[in-house]
């Protein structure tokens, strides 16, 4: 077979191959490639015959996780009484300068004064009121029409800074003056119709009680959570130290027929009678398992007292039936949560309680056996003072704040909320109330912003 003739392209290709082989032979690339291939084969064989050592477990330092458990879950009793609802908020606002510490012992009104203006006119007013002997207007509340209550912009004033914990009208018809205490230990006095507010700081902690002596208005008892009881004497211009307790004082009261004794809610459920003439405790009773929030005496039977407690009960007691240091409750009224107040009606025939279980209890009858429970939202939270239903000028109505910046009016007869006092001037929630027993239709509501709103009858 005749061989095929190669094309020019194929001849050129073969010539290039021969030239490349000659160049590779001159550089000895084939031998070097063979040596490199043999070297890789030897490394693979050596690697395959190597015995793998066992991997040692990594030793780690154990991490200890500490789980926090409360005393309650561990079955250990609490080492303290805990914080009160009225003082759970920070006691020093971040935007205000730190409060100075009030020294114990007698404190002059000039030293305690925090208002910039002179208080000479205020002291003169107190001394003038002390000479006035007024008589409350009885049951004039029978003629009160709820629709006539209104709030005027002139009857609003910021008396103290921070949350108001206690508010009281002065028991006189000559001057419409109000005292308010706050959580910082301040006492502010506002004479309605005047722009000036007279501010003092006789205490270091939240004010728990203001007791204006009806027989001598120039003398005012004040108590606070630091366990101090003082007597403000305008004639001597002094806040005198009356009593200092190792326990917290949560409430302050006085029987209507007694001028020389005051009653203190002291510590975890204790009731103390302080005799100012003797300058000592005359009696002490352990009445409740936890703190007492209010003390109220029956105006018709001054030996009967009602107490409300955070142990979810309210009780009535007869102070005549004492067996040494023991008292037995006449009646016990039970709620599901803390009872914030228990007040007798003006006639003494009914008792009203306010509880954190969102109810208002009204008890009437000879032995307070007739019971009515009214639903009312009482969860004010940590920044507001708790609600406490306050009787009006008769046994018909109770007044209590609500979370919508209004005042709910509760009818003790109809046993329901019959009306809500509202006003565009209300810019805060009223929590604590007091009535002017010498002016029917005059009601003051105190807020957690330090304001006082005074409702009057048109």
Is residue 430 a part of any domain in this protein?
A: no
Per residue in 409-438, pLDDT (tens digit) is: 999 999 999 999 999 999 999 999 999 999
Count of the separate structural domains present in the chain: 1
Please report, for the domain that includes residue 343, its CATH number. 2.130.10.10
Contact between residue 345 and residue 298 where contact means Cβ atoms under 8 Å apart: no
| Mean pLDDT, the chain, integer | 85
Is it the case that residue 140 has pLDDT exceeding 70? no
Is residue 89 pLDDT above 60, yes or no?
no
In a domain, 379, yes or no: yes
The pLDDT tens digits of the residues spanning 203-227 come to: 999 999 999 998 889 999 999 999 9
277 occurs within a structural domain:
yes
Q: Quick check: is 376 in a domain?
A: yes
> Is residue 446 predicted with pLDDT exceeding 90?
yes
Is 294 inside any structural domain? yes
Does residue 368 lie in a domain region? yes
* pLDDT (0 to 100) of residue 43: 59
- Residue percentage of the chain with pLDDT more than 70: 81
Q: How far is CA 299 from CA 181, 346, 413, in A?
A: 25, 7, 21
User: What are the tens digits of pLDDT across the range 51-80?
Assistant: 555 555 555 544 444 444 555 555 555 554
pLDDT of residue 26: 82
Asked if residue 262 lies in contact with residue 255, where contact means CB atoms within 8 angstroms, the answer is: no
Tell me how far apart the terminal alpha carbons of the chain are, to the nearest angstrom: 140
Determine the structural domain holding residue 336 and report its residue range: 253-422
Report the C-alpha gap between 54 and 385 in whole angstroms: 71
Using pLDDT thresholds of 50, 70 and 90, give the confidence band for residue 200.
Answer: very high
332: in domain: yes
82 in any annotated domain: no
């Amino acid at each position: 077979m005749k061989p095929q003739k190669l094309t020019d392209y194929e001849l050129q290709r073969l010539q290039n191959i021969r030239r490349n082989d000659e160049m590779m032979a001159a550089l000895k690339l084939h031998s070097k490639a063979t040596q490199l291939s043999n070297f890789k084969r030897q490394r693979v064989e050596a690697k395959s015959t190597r015995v793998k050592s066992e991997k040692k477990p990594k030793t780690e330092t154990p991490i200890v996780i500490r789980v926090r458990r409360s005393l309650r879950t561990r079955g250990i009793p609490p080492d303290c009484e805990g914080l009160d609802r009225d003082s759970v908020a920070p006691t020093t606002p971040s935007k205000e300068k730190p409060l100075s510490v009030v020294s114990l012992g007698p404190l002059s009104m000039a030293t305690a004064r925090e208002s910039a203006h002179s208080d000479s006119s205020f002291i003169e007013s107190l001394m003038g009121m002390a000479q006035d002997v007024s008589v409350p207007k009885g049951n004039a509340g029978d003629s009160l029409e709820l629709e006539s209550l209104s709030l005027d912009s002139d009857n609003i004033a910021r008396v103290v800074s921070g949350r108001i914990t206690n508010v009281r009208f002065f028991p006189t018809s000559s001057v419409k003056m109000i005292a308010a205490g706050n959580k910082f230990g301040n006492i502010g006095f506002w004479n309605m119709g005047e722009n000036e507010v007279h501010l003092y700081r006789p205490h270091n902690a939240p004010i728990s009680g203001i007791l204006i002596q009806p027989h001598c208005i120039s003398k005012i008892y004040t108590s606070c959570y630091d366990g101090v009881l003082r007597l403000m004497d305008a004639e001597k211009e002094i806040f005198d130290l009356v009593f200092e307790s190792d326990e917290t004082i949560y409430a302050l009261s006085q029987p209507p027929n007694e001028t020389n004794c005051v009653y203190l809610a002291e510590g975890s459920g204790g009731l103390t009678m302080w005799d100012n003439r003797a300058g000592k405790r005359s009696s002490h009773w352990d009445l409740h398992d936890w703190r007492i929030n209010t003390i109220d005496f029956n105006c018709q039977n001054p030996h009967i007292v009602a107490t409300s407690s955070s142990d979810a009960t309210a009780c009535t007691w007869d102070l005549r039936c004492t067996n040494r240091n023991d008292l037995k409750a006449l009646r016990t009224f039970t709620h599901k949560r803390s009872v914030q107040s228990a007040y007798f009606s003006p006639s003494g025939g009914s008792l009203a309680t306010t509880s954190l279980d969102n109810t208002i209890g009204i008890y009437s009858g000879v032995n307070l056996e007739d019971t009515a429970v009214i639903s009312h939202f009482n969860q004010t939270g940590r920044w507001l003072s708790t609600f406490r239903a306050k009787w009006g000028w008769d046994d018909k109505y109770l007044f209590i704040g609500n979370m919508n910046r209004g005042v709910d009016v509760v009818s003790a007869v109809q046993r329901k909320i019959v009306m809500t006092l509202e006003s565009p001037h209300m810019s805060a929630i009223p929590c604590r109330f007091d009535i002017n027993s010498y002016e029917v239709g005059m009601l003051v509501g105190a807020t957690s912003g330090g304001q006082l709103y005074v409702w009057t009858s048109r």
